[in-house]
Structure 1
């Protein structure tokens, strides 16, 4: 039994996640050396050492969740715990939260900062997947099958928006939409849900108008037209990202030899780490990251399609869409396709909360994959064994 389970794990997915995480460790060190000394006044390997610790913690939780049966997550006790603990933690931020980047989104514990909203993303995925899997028999009854799980989603989004952290709210709404669409809801109810969403968002925008439509945010849209016009002010980040990407060319300047990270490119080890990768490793480094991320996302979608359990299928959709959407938003932001939102690149950017949450999510995805492979391989084998037994019995009676 144990050997069969071990053989059923998706080792290509595990290798892809591991390679990307180790690559991140190298690039965080390269991207943060100058920033650590010049901006923060700490040793050049400060962020590298912290990222290494985050990676070890992430590896521990990855192993735990990869071994833990994902089906236990849909139990009533687990879901109640998820709902109340996530809401309580988000509310506690308003009393004990630390302000960083104009948002009260962090708990400060010694030298470490924890961003609860990162873990709430996974809570939302688990809760919505469990609820819509449970409601499959009446999924197209709008009031009974569609609306109830969205109450939790709405409460979470409002609490995160108040911080304010609208980038995280946007991400949560997008991958929640992927789960809802994949749950089997018909087009008629999706249209109703879209209309209801617009009606709900109007007072939301009115309530947070002054926080959403700030001059800084509106400038980000203006920058997209001609960032070089604002290169000394609001377009400074994007222009230096362009320069870093352009400097790299095909082969890059060499690992550790980037210029833009030397005080020119802000947040070089977090939001703009891909610009550093492009400058130092060229198209080869960028290609490695994009291909590996694409493999993880597409593999997740494949697992969802193969999974016969609605809960496992929706979990895989939610996790893979979260990774894919977050990667797109980061890459599109640094290349000027969409306004910058401060979203980290999954598995690559520096950050403990993001990395540990992604490790837990990836572990759950690997566990879903294991169950899918186990059922495919050994269900066929059991069926074949049963057929062989029947054939042997038939031969025995015919020759008796």
Structure 2
């Protein structure tokens, strides 16, 4: 163990770690700035209410990062680990169905209350689970068969499990998470190394099941396409026509972005956070960053997240281990898709989905699971460096 830790310290991915750390600390500052009015008026708490809660979240997230960074990633292909992760997933979604909440507040039944931890969002766990489970399943199959002979029917269980997860998340009406889960699954399969022809067969199976899911969703559209969700689609096309109702958040986000200009109003000087923007510290925190810090704040966030995605893809391309490649590609895709969906909703490129901005937005479940993912990526990076040095010597 001592030798492992020594080798680990010598090959630790410091650029990736410090990028995640700086983004998280930057997010902490912006959460304090953007949430003060919400804390006072809506929660009837001190101005630093959300800031202090996020400090606790970051403490837990740091511990999660350390554990994941030290734990050898190859163990995720172990059958017992796969079973444990699956059991946790089933328990969380069953718990959510029985005692979930959030539909009354934000139109999405997405949270459960875990004693001692507070609110927990199972869909965030589902993102990391799909990456690890798909990567492990394909890796184990690759040990038995060549990918040229692998058929979609031989990986029935991962596909079936993916369908159940996507359907469960969709019926929470967390449509942003559904898009991310689909992107993650495709990226992991694409990184597995299967031939292009087989990949399209697999993609066809996913598409067929996806069509069935869409049919079911529209059959129960009253449960999935709720009035709030339909309002977001309507406000996407004509936000200023619904400025006083369903387009209120989008329009005030535009005011925040336009009000900041190139240089911004100054840290803490946002106007839109003073009761105009309903969720300034969660999915619309980038609008506040733009208003207060202008183009420089945007560059900090985009550069940091872009570096993480670039680093993950680089690790996936360099490693010769298919398990490491699939996990690294899946994590990179997760960060990239979630960033695009959040920024796309804030800027009006796509409809709002309520997805948070990675490492920046307030949220305990998000920062903890993302930190776990970063710990796994750092661990893969360390093993990749060791393998590269060994091959060169």
- What is the TM-score when the length of structure 1 is the normalising length? 0.90
Partners of 1:42 and 1:215 in 2: CA distance: 31
The alignment's C-alpha RMSD in Å is 1.8
For 1:316 and 1:306, the matched residues in 2 are separated by: 11
C-alpha deviation, 1:307, in angstroms: 1.2
Which residues in structure 2 correspond to 1:252-291 (within 5 Å)? 252-291=264-303
Compute the displacement of 1:139 (Å).
3.3
The match for 1:139 is 147
Please, which moves more after superposition, 196-205 or 240-249? 196-205
Structure-1 separation of matches of 2:339 and 2:126:
18
1:16 aligns with 2:19: yes
The equivalent position to 2:335 in structure 1, one of 323, 326, 335, is 323
1:299 matches 2:332: no
Taking the aligned partners of 2:258 and 2:153, their CA distance within structure 1 comes to: 53
Q: Which moved more, 1:344-353 or 1:152-161?
A: 152-161
Does residue 114 of the first structure (1) align with residue 123 of the second (2)?
Answer: no
Match of residue 64 from structure 2: 61
**Structure 1 position 146, deviation (Å):** 4.2
Structure 1 residue corresponding to 2:238, chosen from 226, 238, 245: 226
- Secondary structure at 1:81 match in 2: helix
Q: CA deviation at 1:320?
A: 0.9
Determine the structure 2 residue equivalent to 1:129.
Answer: 135
Q: Deviations over 1:81-103 (max 9, x none)?
A: 11122112201222232334233
| 1:74 CA drift (Å) | 1.1
Residue pairs, 1:364-379, within 5 angstroms: 364-379=376-391
Gaps of 5+ in 1: 382-400
Rounded Cα–Cα distance in structure 1 between residues aligned with 2:246 and 2:165: 31
CA offset at residue 71 of structure 1?
A: 0.6
Deviation at 1:144, TM superposition (A): 4.0
CA distance in 2, matches of 1:353, 1:312: 24
Q: How does 1:1-400 map to 2 (within 5 A)?
A: 1=3, 2-100=5-103, 101-108=106-113, 109=115, 112-136=118-142, 137-140=145-148, 141-185=150-194, 186-187=196-197, 188-190=200-202, 192-381=204-393
Q: Secondary structure at the match of 1:302?
A: helix
1:201 shift after superposition: 2.8
Match of 1:394 in 2: none
The change in CA–CA distance for 1:105 and 1:198 in structure 2 (over 3 A counts) is closer
Moved over 4 A (4+): none
Q: Which moved more, 1:89-98 or 1:232-241?
A: 89-98
Distance 2:211 2:108 in 1: 27
1:278, 1:248 → 2: CA distance?
A: 6
The count of residues paired between Structure 1 and Structure 2 equals 381
Query: Post-superposition shift, 1:311?
Result: 0.7
Cα distance in 1, alignment partners of residues 110 and 238 from structure 2 = 32
Which has the larger displacement, 362-371 or 3-12?
3-12
Shifted more, 170-179 versus 38-47: the winner is 170-179
Instruction: Tell me the alpha carbon deviations over residues 67-125 of structure 1, each in whole angstroms, 9 at most, x when there is no partner.
Output: 11111111000001111221122012222323342333222247921112211211111
Say which one has the larger Rg. Answer: 1
Aligned equivalents of 2:87 and 2:8: distance in 1?
34
CA distance in structure 2 between the aligned counterparts of 1:59 and 1:199, rounded to whole angstroms: 40
**Larger deviation: 192-201 or 276-285?**
192-201
Deviations 1:244-278 (A, max 9, x none): 01111111111111111000111000010000000
User: Which shifted more, 350-359 or 87-96?
Assistant: 87-96
Q: Report if aligned partners of 2:312, 2:332 keep a CA contact under 8 Å in 1.
A: yes
**TM-score normalised by L of structure 2:** 0.92
Structure 1: distance between partners of 2:86 and 2:203: 27
Q: Secondary structure, in 3 states, of the residue corresponding to 1:113?
A: strand
CA, structure 1 residues 281+361, in 2 after alignment: closer, same or farther (shift >3 Å)?
same
Q: Deviations over 1:321-364 (max 9, x none)?
A: 10110010000000000000000000000000000000101100
Identify which range, 64-73 or 82-91, moves more after superposition: 82-91
